[in-house]
Amino acid sequence: MKINKLATLTFSLLLLTACSSKKIEPKKIPSSIQATIGLQTSNDTSIETEEAPKVPIQYDGLGGEFAGNWKLMEFIDKMHYQHNFDYKYLYTLFSNAQNTNQMIEPCLTGTDKNGNCIVEVKPKGKWDRYRGMFIYQRNIDRGIAFWEEHEATLNRAYQEYGVLPEFIIGVLGVETAYGVNFGKKRVIDVLTTKGMLNHRRERFYTKQLEKFLIMTRDSNLDASTLMGSNAGAMGYGQFIASSYLAFAVDFNGDGITDLWDAEDAIGSIANYFAKNGWNRNLSEVVTRARYKGNRFKQLKTGFKTKYSQSKLRKKHKITARKKLNYRGPVSLIKLPKHAYDELWFGTHNFRVITTYNHSTFYGMVVYELGQEVKRARYGR
């Protein structure tokens, strides 16, 4: 009996010894979890991991009129991670931005004795009203002075880009009255307000804000001081930020692309037209057309239209008043005046002008102002 017990005890001890000497393997952690937590091997070589989400560095936070605006805070993160902007710089810049929706617009026409804004008496024709905003004697005189001062630069732009001086003169007079009105609002305020406060075109303005910050950094300009229009357009030619990056040139060779500089503005406008298809061999932009009646309702009009000149002549009895050497398709341009409609043919280069501002009236007033200044200066 004792022998049996001893044998049983010996067998149990041997079994326990065998079990204790068996190597216990740790339970493997799934590779997906390893990737998440960044598990390391015993020799300290890191297993490939997915990068953990970055947490924004808040610095002093966003203050001022846009404090707590989540769209702006997300935008700041984007500018930091995608374009390497400094957080502190961005928070300081936007904490000092102002909501332009709360700004009171100045009365540009003056006020009466009761402080009310004076309403100007305007011509009755739609085209006459629009034309009168840009083509008046004082603006023509400004155009003459600008042309005389910058004649060499205008001629150089023509040689390089093929754009005649009068068309650049027309753009500058319409956009800023030759530098008299660059705009009265800070660009940073306009773009931040329209990009972050539920404007109907907020996606467009957010993109312009992104381009504006890149533009000011790359051109070494102070984003907090630049003034522009109610749409954030800048400089003599009123370029928006994306156009600035795409078309602005350093035309005076000082190493800085500055559209508040007249020479850079002249070269940039010429470059814009050239890159948008300007034909340097086509001097004809528009010509007056003849039709029957006082009001034109026969066909669709506008800068987007294109008609065969032959078809207009044969089928609709619409012809140019003077010989037109241009043989391509023409746009039909209707200018409603008080008593009748003027009808014009627009060539390829007219349509190029309207890429600057998508408006038939805009293209025509640029053309007519340039011609008025040219006639006043040269007598032709």
Alpha carbons 172 and 166: distance in angstroms, whole number: 10
Q: Quick check: 249 and 257 in contact, CB under 8 A?
A: yes
> What structural domains and CATH numbers belong to the chain?
64-98 (no CATH), 128-275 (no CATH), 286-378 (1.10.530.10)
Residues with Cβ within 8 Å of residue 74, at least 6 apart in sequence = none
Alpha carbons 247 and 270: distance in angstroms, whole number: 9
The bridge status of strand 341-346 relative to strand 227-228 is unpaired
**Active-site hit among 65, 175, 263, 372:** 175
Q: What is the pLDDT of residue 199?
A: 83
pTM over 0.85: no
Concerning whether 175 is annotated as a catalytic residue, the answer is yes
DSSP lists the bridge partners of residue 185 as: 228
Q: What is the pLDDT of residue 6?
A: 44
Q: What is the pLDDT of residue 2?
A: 45
Alpha carbons 103 and 69: distance in angstroms, whole number: 19
pLDDT by residue for the chain (380 residues), tens only, comes to: 444 444 444 444 444 444 444 444 444 434 333 333 333 333 443 333 344 444 444 445 899 999 999 999 999 999 999 999 999 999 999 999 999 987 555 544 454 444 444 444 454 579 999 999 999 999 999 999 999 999 999 999 999 999 999 999 999 999 999 999 999 999 999 999 999 998 889 999 999 999 999 999 999 999 999 999 999 999 999 999 999 999 999 999 999 999 999 999 999 999 999 999 999 999 999 999 999 999 999 999 999 999 999 999 999 999 999 999 999 999 999 999 999 999 999 999 999 999 999 999 999 999 999 999 999 999 86
Q: Quick check: 178 and 369 in contact, CB under 8 A?
A: no
Give 280-285 contacts, CB < 8 A, sequence gap 24+: 280/161, 280/162, 280/163, 281/162, 282/326, 282/347, 282/348, 282/349, 283/164, 284/324, 284/325, 284/326, 284/347, 284/349, 285/167, 285/346, 285/347, 285/349, 285/350, 285/353, 285/367
- Phi and psi of 185, rounded to 5°? -125, 145
The DSSP output letter for 354 is T
The DSSP output letter for 334 is E
